[in-house]
Every structure is written in C-alpha cells, then in structure tokens.
Structure 1
Amino acid sequence: MAINNPYATYQNNSVNTSTPGELTLMLYNGCLKFIQQAKKALDQGDIEEKNTATQKAQAIVSELMVTLDTSVPVAENMMILYEFVNNRLLEANIKNEVGYYDEAASIITEFRDTWKQVIQINRQKQYAHTDEI
C-alpha cells in the first residue's frame, strides 16, 4: 500500500482547482525557482544540475509561448520577450554566465508581478460585482 504524500496531494489539488490566471502565475513562479536552482548549481560547480534546472525553466517558457493568446495585440511583444528569455537561458547554460540567468529572471519577475496585479484587480472586480447582487 502506497503512503500518500500530503504535500504532493496539496500541489495536485491546487493545480486542479486553480483558474487559468493562477496557473500562469504558478508557471512564472516555477520558472523563477528553476532559474535560481540553476544559478545555485552553477555556483556549486554542479553542471548536471545546472543543465537540468535550466532545461526545466526553458520548458516553462516554451509552455508560456505555446499558450500565449496571439489574438491579443500585446501578445506579439510578449512573444519577443519570451524568445529573449529562452535565448538568455540557452546562453547561460552554454556559457555558464550568471548574468544571463539574471536577465532572464528579471523579465520573468516583471511578467509575474504584473500578472499577480491583474489577478488581484480581477478578484476585486469580481467581489465588487458579487456585493452588488
């Protein structure tokens, strides 16, 4: 009989019950986490772990690119920035340069912080609307 991992169960439930906006926020946070892991591994000389963490961050950026709603005018600019981030992660992985990770993290942090504000504004509007009913 397998023992259930409560943390894994919580994570699974939070993903399954999250809105698309919250899932996007989770992707941004995950990307930042893997960039930090890559930087730490690079600092420790663990090239294999650096590579794995970098590839995970790149996979998240690729997912953000694939799911980008291209019908929205701002999407073209976002796509350019996602491509830049992906390129910086690739360069960081090849050249073992922390500065490239920092550039990628800076852009993803901006996206994450903006996205978090959008979610908060939408929640405020939603709750204000339900108060009127």
Structure 2
Amino acid sequence: MAPTPNYQQQYLKAKVETASPGDLTLLLYEELHRKLNMARVLYQKGQFSEMMDRLHGARSILYEFIATLNFEYEISHQLRQLYDYYIRRIGDFAVNKDISILDEVIEFAREYTDTWRQALAQVKSAKGKS
C-alpha cells in the first residue's frame, strides 16, 4: 500500500516556494507565534520534552531572523538586540518555568506577526494603486 500524501505539507511547501521575501518573513513570524503558543499548551500539560522541542524551534526562527539582517542599516542592529533579548527570554523560561516570561515572548511574536501582516497589506495596496 502506498503512503498517503500529506496534503498540508505539500501545500505549505508550495506556499513557501512561491512566497515573496515579505511573505516568507510573515510565515516565519506566524510559525514563531504558533510554536510559542504550542510550547505554552505543552507546558500546561506537563509535556516538557515536547515543549522544549517547540522552544528550540522558536529559537531557531529567531536565529534565522538574525542571520538574514543587513547590518548596513541601523534598524538591523536594533532588531538584532531585540531578537537576542527574546532568545535569552526563551532560555530564561526553559530554566525558571515562569509562565509570565513565556507570555512576554508570545506577546512579542503576536505583535510582530500583526505588524508584518499590516505592513504587507499596505505594500500590496500601494502596488495595486500605482
């Protein structure tokens, strides 16, 4: 019997392969937010190994953001500091298990996801008017 194709994975793969750089950034912010939320759920269920997997994935996304920064621009230095801070906060949560620390990181991810989504909508709207 042939394995059943995973249509969700195929859809996501196609979405990533055809996305613009701006859309890819949004996808990463969405995934960061999703992983952090899942880590919170897993923490509450006492599933610490799975929680740590999600936290590791979230940190990997933040490291990816750092790797793609262009330091010719001042904002890149500021973003680096911001991403470094939240990488440390994830580590602080992993050690201290203080849910308020994780909630702080989740709020950052939610706000940046929303901000990036709005920015993309404005860019696409402006392109449609030109």
TM, length-normalised to structure 2: 0.92
**Percent pairwise identity:** 22
Q: Quick one: which amino acid aligns to residue 108 of structure 1?
A: A
TM superposition shift of 1:4? 2.1
Match of 2:41 in 1: 40
Match of 1:79 in 2: 80
Match of 2:93 in 1: 92
Q: Which runs of 5+ in 2 are unaligned?
A: none
Relative contact order (alpha carbons < 8 A, sep ≥ 6): 1 or 2 greater?
2
Q: How many residues align?
A: 129
2:61 is aligned with 1:51: no
Give the match's secondary structure for 2:74. Answer: coil
Q: Which runs of 5+ in 1 are unaligned?
A: none
Query: Are the aligned partners of 1:35 and 1:105 in contact in 2 as well (CA < 8 Å)?
Result: yes
Q: Quick one: which amino acid aligns to residue 34 of structure 1?
A: K
Separation (CA, whole Å) in 2 of partners of 1:69 and 1:58: 19
Written as runs of structure 1 = structure 2, the 5 A alignment for 1:1-80 is: 1-80=2-81
Q: Quick one: which amino acid aligns to residue 109 of structure 2?
A: I
TM superposition shift of 1:98? 1.0
Separation (CA, whole Å) in 2 of partners of 1:48 and 1:111: 27
Match of 1:104 in 2: 105
